[in-house]
Amino acid sequence: MDVSQYQKGTAAVWAGENDLYVKGAATAPVVNSVAFAYTDLDEWYAVATGNARGYIYSRNTNPTVGVLEEKIRLLEGAEAATSFATGMAAISNTLFTFLTPGKRVVSLKDTYGGTSKIFLDFLPAYHVDVTLCDTTDHEQLEAEIAKGCDLLYLETPTNPTLKIVDIKRLAAAAEKVGAIVVVDNTFATPINQNPLQLGAHLIIHSATKFLCGHSDAMGGVLAGKQDLVKKVFQFREINGASLQADPAYMIARGMKTLELRIERQNASALAIARYLEAHPKIKEVFYPGLETHHGHEIARRQMKGFGGILSFAIEGGYENVKKVLPRLKLAHLAASLGSVSTLAGPPRTTSHVELTEEQRKLLGIPEGLIRYSVGIENTNDLLSDLEQALKTI
Ligand SMILES: *Cc1c(COP(=O)(O)O)cnc(C)c1O
């Protein structure tokens, strides 16, 4: 548009904004537009009523956000995908879409802290019947599912002791009672595990973690059966926990290197787990790639790689955790995980800070535990770093 005929105030608004989409641009643009304009009112109406492709308002859909959703849809082999402002928004919107008053959900004691809070505090207040089973007690889970439930919610591997849940086995039990099966696939990533191929109907990721991979943007995604994803999408459109174009761009960019990062992190984590298992100062190592891990057989069946997270208990309990952790040079002592840089921390100050020592004990979390999220650094450098830090005890 030629704006030379207008005053400065008008030109400041309209000048230079034509032909925004540079044809052939090698990177998808960040479209920070809240609304999308139409010159043809009939077309606008067709898009607004869902009868033509296009965008209306970014709380509903946005082109940059759509790029990310399409990546996760294909990586998980899903019919459809949608996204959220955070991983917790993906989880809460999904649970509140399907769990209306009077419904019943079966899940695990070891779900992510925020998820656990929804099960323990929020859903019961909405008169939803919540049953949380011992995470690896498949018989108990099957028995509770068989009593009848509307939704089965799983997470595997779990935080922080990497417990493994048999998705195929439990999805089969859920199938018999017509329950929707949802799996939080954050720890495994779509490179290592595809729950939809094992009978799950929906998968969720905290995209803040491995998908983004750089600890610099937050988001959540949901993928799976078209009709189910659509229901949650419609709830989220109104509930409003939409992902913005800027973080969507960051996450989509991170996802371009997902496979490379996960391959490195899988290999490093296994090498580190084996090293720690043989270390005299280490009492126990939790990593599903170790033959000694109680869930190793299931993990071998349902995972292509064992992931970048491990945890280990050191001799001397929390007193020694306080000595060793600050000695690590190649680890941020922080709460997150799944980044290019190694992150480490004790569950008692991070994921399980709300629990008492007794409750952590009941969940099988030793007080001397360190969760270690392996970055993409050189494996030998990480091994040497652990070696020097452990020398202090
Ligand atoms: C971090 C995390 C979440 C929550 O995601 P946010 O993006 O922090 O809201 C959910 N599940 C798992 C397994 C996580 O690690």
Model pLDDT for residues 365-375, shown as the tens digit of each residue: 888 999 999 99
Q: Is 93 in the pocket of ligand 1 (CB under 6 A)?
A: no
- Rounded to the nearest whole angstrom, what is the distance from the C-alpha of residue 387 to the centroid of ligand 1? 30
Nearest atom, ligand 1, residue 90 CA: 9
Element of type H or E holding 382 = helix 379-390
Residue 19 pLDDT: 64
SS3 379: helix
What the block records as the tokens of 54 is: 């296009």
Q: Whose C-alpha lies nearest to ligand 1, atom 5?
A: 87
Structure confidence at residue 25 as a pLDDT band (50, 70, 90): confident
Query: Is residue 355 pLDDT above 80, yes or no?
Result: no
Model pLDDT for residues 83-104, shown as the tens digit of each residue: 999 999 999 999 999 999 999 9
Q: Would the pTM of this model clear 0.75, i.e. be above it?
A: yes
Instruction: Tell me, yes or no, if 168 is annotated catalytic.
Output: no
What integer is the mean pLDDT of 113-136? 95
Residue 49 pLDDT: 92
Q: In this structure, which long-range contacts are made by residues 201-205, counting pairs with CB atoms below 8 Å and at least 24 apart in sequence? A: 201/225, 201/228, 202/94, 202/228, 202/229, 202/232, 203/76, 203/78, 204/87, 204/90, 204/91, 204/94, 205/72, 205/87, 205/90
Query: Is residue 112 pLDDT above 80, yes or no?
Result: yes
Residue 274 pLDDT: 98
Query: Is residue 105 pLDDT above 90, yes or no?
Result: yes
Structure confidence at residue 12 as a pLDDT band (50, 70, 90): confident
What does the domain layout of the chain look like in residue ranges? 258-390
Q: Is 157 in the pocket of ligand 1 (CB under 6 A)?
A: no
Cα separation, 237 vs 59, in Å, equals 6
Report CA torsion sign: 350, 356, 360, 366: positive
The CATH homologous superfamily to which domain 258-390 belongs is: Aspartate Aminotransferase, domain 1 (3.90.1150.10)
Element of type H or E holding 63 = helix 63-75
Asked whether the beta carbons of 163 and 157 are under 8 A apart, the reply is yes
Q: Is 208 in the pocket of ligand 1 (CB under 6 A)?
A: yes
Structure confidence at residue 329 as a pLDDT band (50, 70, 90): very high
Instruction: Tell me, yes or no, if 55 is annotated catalytic.
Output: no
What integer is the mean pLDDT of 304-328? 96
End-to-end CA distance of the chain: 71
Quote the radius of gyration of the chain (alpha carbons, Å): 23
- Rounded to the nearest whole angstrom, what is the distance from the C-alpha of residue 153 to the centroid of ligand 1? 14
* Residue 181 Cα distances to 101, 175, 199, angstroms: 19, 8, 8
Q: Which of 84, 159, 186 to mutate to test the pocket of ligand 1 (most atoms within 8 A of CB)?
A: 186
Instruction: Tell me, yes or no, if 112 is annotated catalytic.
Output: yes
Residue 316 pLDDT: 94
Element of type H or E holding 266 = helix 258-277
What integer is the mean pLDDT of 254-270? 97
Residue 364 pLDDT: 79
φ/ψ bin of 127: left (φ > 0), alpha (ψ from -120 to 50), beta (otherwise): left
Catalytic residue among 163, 184, 261, 371: 184
- Rounded to the nearest whole angstrom, what is the distance from the C-alpha of residue 281 to the centroid of ligand 1? 31
Q: Which residues contact 250 (CB under 8 A, 6 or more apart)?
A: 212, 214, 216, 217
Residue 18 pLDDT: 73
Query: Is residue 378 pLDDT above 90, yes or no?
Result: yes
Residue 148 pLDDT: 97
Query: Is residue 304 pLDDT above 80, yes or no?
Result: yes
Catalytic residue among 6, 38, 57, 59: 59
Instruction: Tell me, yes or no, if 59 is annotated catalytic.
Output: yes
Cα separation, 367 vs 89, in Å, equals 30
Task: Decide which of 321 and 17 is more confident.
Answer: 321
Average pLDDT, the chain: 95
Query: Is residue 213 pLDDT above 70, yes or no?
Result: yes
What integer is the mean pLDDT of 321-348? 94
What the block records as the tokens of 309 is: 């997270």
Residue 101: burial class (beta carbons within 10 Å; 0-12, 13-18, 19+): exposed
- Looking up tokens 């988001």 gives 219
Structure confidence at residue 346 as a pLDDT band (50, 70, 90): very high
Element of type H or E holding 297 = helix 296-302
- Rounded to the nearest whole angstrom, what is the distance from the C-alpha of residue 111 to the centroid of ligand 1? 10
Q: Which residues contact 8 (CB under 8 A, 6 or more apart)?
A: none
Model pLDDT for residues 144-188, shown as the tens digit of each residue: 999 999 999 999 999 999 999 999 999 999 999 999 999 999 999
